[in-house]
A and B are shown apart, each in its own frame.
Chain A
Amino acid sequence: MTEPQVEPRVERRRLSHELPATPASPELRAGREGKIRVATISPCGCWGCNLSMLDIDERLIPLLDKITITRSSFTDIKRITERAHVGFVEGGVANEDNIETLRHFRENCDVLVSVGACAGWGGIPSLRNPIGVEECLREAYVDSPTAVPGAPPVVPLHPELPLLTRTVRPCHEVVHMDYFIPGCPPDGDAVFAVIDDLVNGRPVSLPAATRYD
């Protein structure tokens, strides 16, 4: 018999948007006035799609006259400070935390854009779907070649850790998504084309250079 692991009791895991935040200074706020607020999140992704947004390169500078980036890895702001006009999501939904993050994002963004393979169909993380979560956990933590021989297996179950979902789902199977940019990652031009269309109020059209890989 293995020793039962102690599972510490924690009242409730706090979600990222519930963390304390420092209000922005009045000057900063004034500078943002009237701009289109853009936010980005990465539930179960690799941040590669966010990096593709940086591949907009110098086009980002004039763009910043029109938009301001709130919650995003670029700004290191971990919560939505105020309702965003456009939200970009890279990554699919693989655990409880992803569900909450996406739910909160949907509630606080006017338009959501699904960016990349993971958000679009599950991507690499979803390769676990055909296998099943139990077999994956067993392979990773119990029958793993790196498991310490003789030691009780450690399976990451802790109230501070989000529980996995049975299968990894694309974002649009969890909440409504408005637009899709496929690619792994989509290139900067594709991302720019969509932002540019949205910012200028044009119907979103993807460039011919769209790829799935």
Chain B
Amino acid sequence: MSVTITVDGRELEATEGETLVEATARHGIRIPTLCSSPEHRSVATCRVCTVRVNGQVVAGCTVPVRDGLTVELDTPELRDLRRQVVELLFSEGLHNCPSCEKSGFCRLQAVALDLEMTSSRFPYRHPRREADRGSARIWLERDRCILCHRCVDQVRDPDTGDRVFAMVGRGPGARIEIDPDRADRLTDEQVANAVELCPVGAILHKGRGYRTPIGQRPFDVRPVRERDLEAAVDD
């Protein structure tokens, strides 16, 4: 059913039930996201899509569109809030773009640039986190993991449907673990998908590094804003 919502004063047609992120994207208005994307709805972990709906601050990826929603997106206050969330991620992990294979493919990097983050206002914690290289093709580099939960929800054993990744521990000590036996049973295509699914450089495909030179990578040639909107139209 077609409904009308208002985003920053602009009236938009939308389809009831689709999420706010999806609805706005079709009109060329992008709400930044890390854990969800047009192809993958999420469990709303990153909060980068935070907007104000009918006066209430909420994650845009969880809001089903209804007629008459009034959305504030591009206000200085909300822009700063979203940037704080991204800065918290940069302080919490070890995001070494200069030596990360994912640079240019990395959604976190692209979104941070889009939000015009130049440095984090929070102290950098430089944590020590062990990498897991135990599976044959996947290298799990936890320094960069933002616990978005995408791999946990979406990467599955091709035969049994068992999960390959899981979140272990809790709070600031939570981490992603990999089931090496099941990881080894994934098809090459699934491994490639898992790498693409990861919005940072935490899941890497062993032996496949730097096939695309730096400078020619997706976010090197087109900012995340344009790519997301393009994907929404294709959808």
Binding site for B on A (CB under 8 A): 114, 117, 120-124, 126-127, 129-131, 167, 169-170, 172-173, 179-182, 184, 206, 208, 210-213
Q: Is the interface of B mostly helix, strand, loop or mixed?
A: loop
Knowing A211-B113, A212-B98, A212-B112 are in contact, say whether A121-B119 is a contact too (CB < 8 A).
yes
Knowing that A121-B124, A130-B129, A208-B223 are A-B contacts, what are 12 other residue pairs whose CB atoms are under 8 Å apart, sorted by A's residue number?
A: A120-B118, A120-B119, A121-B119, A123-B98, A124-B99, A131-B128, A182-B118, A211-B97, A212-B98, A212-B109, A213-B98, A213-B100
CB distance from B222 to the nearest CB of A (A): 11
B231 within 8 Å of A by Cβ? no
Separation of A211 and B219 alpha carbons in the complex (Å): 10
Name B94's contact: one of A130, A181, A206, A210 (CB within 8 Å).
A130
Which residues of A sit under 8 angstroms from B103, Cβ to Cβ? Answer: 212-213
| A210 & B118 in contact (Cβ 8 Å cutoff) | yes
Question: For B118, what are the chain A residues with a Cβ–Cβ distance below 8 Å?
Answer: 120, 179-182, 206, 210
Count CB-based A-B contacts (< 8 Å).
64
B154 proximal to A (CB < 8 A):
no
Tell which of B99, B104, B127 has the most Cβ of chain A within 10 Å.
B99
Q: How many residues of B contact A (CB 8 A)?
A: 25
Chain B residues within CB distance 8 Å of chain A:
90, 94-100, 103-104, 109, 112-113, 116, 118-120, 123-124, 126-129, 214, 223
Chain B, Cβ-Cβ closest to A169: B124
A170 adjacent to B113 (CB under 8 Å): no
In the assembly, what is the distance between CA of A131 and CA of B127, in Å? 9
Q: Give min CB distance, B92 to chain A, whole Å.
A: 12
In the assembled complex, the Cα of A173 lies from the Cα of B99 at a distance in Å of 22
Given contacts A170-B124, A208-B223, contact A213 B116 (CB under 8 A): no
Give the docked Cα–Cα distance between A182 and B154 (Å): 33
> A114 vs B126: C-alpha distance in the bound complex, in angstroms?
19
